[in-house]
Chain A
Amino acid sequence: MKHKIYKDIDAIVADVPDGARIMFGGFGGAGFPNNLIQALARRGTKDITAISNNCGTHDGELGMLFKLDRIRHVIASFPGPHATYFQERFAAKEVTLELVPQGILCERMRAAAAGLLGFYTTVGVGTEVAAKKEERILDGKRCILETPIRADYAFIKAEKADELGNLTYRLAAQNFNPIMAMAAKTTIAEVEEIVPVGAIDPESVMTPAIFVHRIAQAKGIRYAG
């Protein structure tokens, strides 16, 4: 059995290099890998490309990484009214942003996960997000070509993992996590609880273990925003 469990949350991110492309799960305060983010802040990795729905809540969530000037480029759908450190860095031109419609952000990551090289959509036609994208007519409708979003790492938050890496999520805290888990080369999960193999009913597995490479039980911040 591959060994995926890390006792130390700092060790689990110790090899994340400068310039890494990292997906971060979470939405609306729920399902953020806050302890992994804090560990990455301590690690000091810089020039990160971050892929996440938003850009932090003050110091919380991704906020700390913007505060410490570790993120160079971000791909997001809604930076957010409380993303104060991102807004400062963006205004100072210290970070660049690609804004992506939220569902298309999901689908571009899913395309990467699924081995697809792109897809056409009507979303964003005639808007700023269509700039420089191929446009054509399919089924009588104007549509644009969207390409995959890949990443070196996905930092995700789950409720429970077994020792193989099968995951379950709690309530609305799954949000982006299952999608990002499938889309990155290395998926790192912080979880509330680690249980023995077989303790999660196969019918209840929400992210199959094949997508999960490292697991740590996080004892710290649950909601950082």
Chain B
Amino acid sequence: MPAKPRLTREQIARRAALELPDGAYVNLGWGIPNLIADHLPAGITVYFHSENGILGMGRRAKAGEEDYDLVDAMKVPVTLVPGASFFHQADAHLMTRGGHLDVAVLGGFQVSEKGDLANWKIPGAKGPGGIGGAMDIAAGTKRLIVCMEHTTKEGAPKIVRECTYPLTGLACVTTIVTDLAVIDVTPQGLALREVAHDWTPAEVQELTGAPLAVPGHVPEMRFS
């Protein structure tokens, strides 16, 4: 039997974008989260924070309008929205660590049932890894959403009872959006909120390394 289709990275981003409240100050991490800026629902304004000292980061710069003193955390030239501001790196992280941002969205290698996050180093990978701003964000952000594939390329669950990869932060994740489901981290453990089209809660549980609380009716993942 061929594998059932899962959501694309763009669809994960589109679903995660619906979690951002109007007017929110938001930090987007590398990977899938970075795609969210292109998938905001109509009528919603959010202010993107960049750890190099920008609040009110706009779309990527078009060819010809790049200014290499105005880049995002991925080194890509960007633009500003009206009302933007600049500040130094210490204040940029004061905003993350001090709980001033409303939401941050990060990529993840593993999330535990307690909301522990591992996202900066894969054991056995070449090189020392890189922490960047992830630990400051994990420690201080009011609402931390993780966007990732539900399983590794080899099919192992990335949502687990205990993280085995080097940790970024303890009990910091509030919601996980994957290519199969939306899952909330609650004081009682993981709670399944939505499943991808054509997938059942039992099938999602099968690919999850920790128990999921499943309500009587689990709606399909929505995109608007």
Contact = CB atoms under 8 A, between A and B. Distances in A.
Interface of A: 27-31, 53-54, 77-80, 87, 90-91, 97, 99-104, 106-107, 110, 121-129, 142, 170-179, 222-223, 225
Contact of A90 (B88, B116, B128, B133): B128
Given A29-B68, A90-B128, A102-B133, A127 B167 contact: yes
A121 B22 CA distance: 31
Contact of B132 (A30, A31, A77, A172): A77
A175 B88 contact: yes
A126 B69 contact: no
B130 A77 contact: yes
Interface in B93-112: 93-94, 96-97
A103 to B, nearest CB: 3
Contacts of B167: 126-128
Given A172-B70, A172-B71, A178-B88, A102 B131 contact: yes
A103 B93 contact: yes
B132 to A, nearest CB: 4
A107 B140 CA distance: 15
Contacts of A174: 53, 86-89
Interface size class of B (residues with CB under 8 A): 35 or more
Nearest to B75: A28
B53 A127 contact: no
A179 B187 CA distance: 39
Interface centre among A77, A90, A122, A172 (most CB of B within 10 A): A172
Given A28-B75, A106-B93, A97 B135 contact: no
A31 B90 contact: no
Interface string B127-167: 11111111110111000000000000000000000000011
A110 B133 CA distance: 17
13 contacts: A28-B71, A29-B75, A30-B71, A53-B89, A78-B130, A101-B135, A102-B132, A103-B97, A124-B135, A172-B86, A175-B88, A177-B88, A179-B88
A179 B70 CA distance: 19
Interface in B65-91: 67-75, 86-90
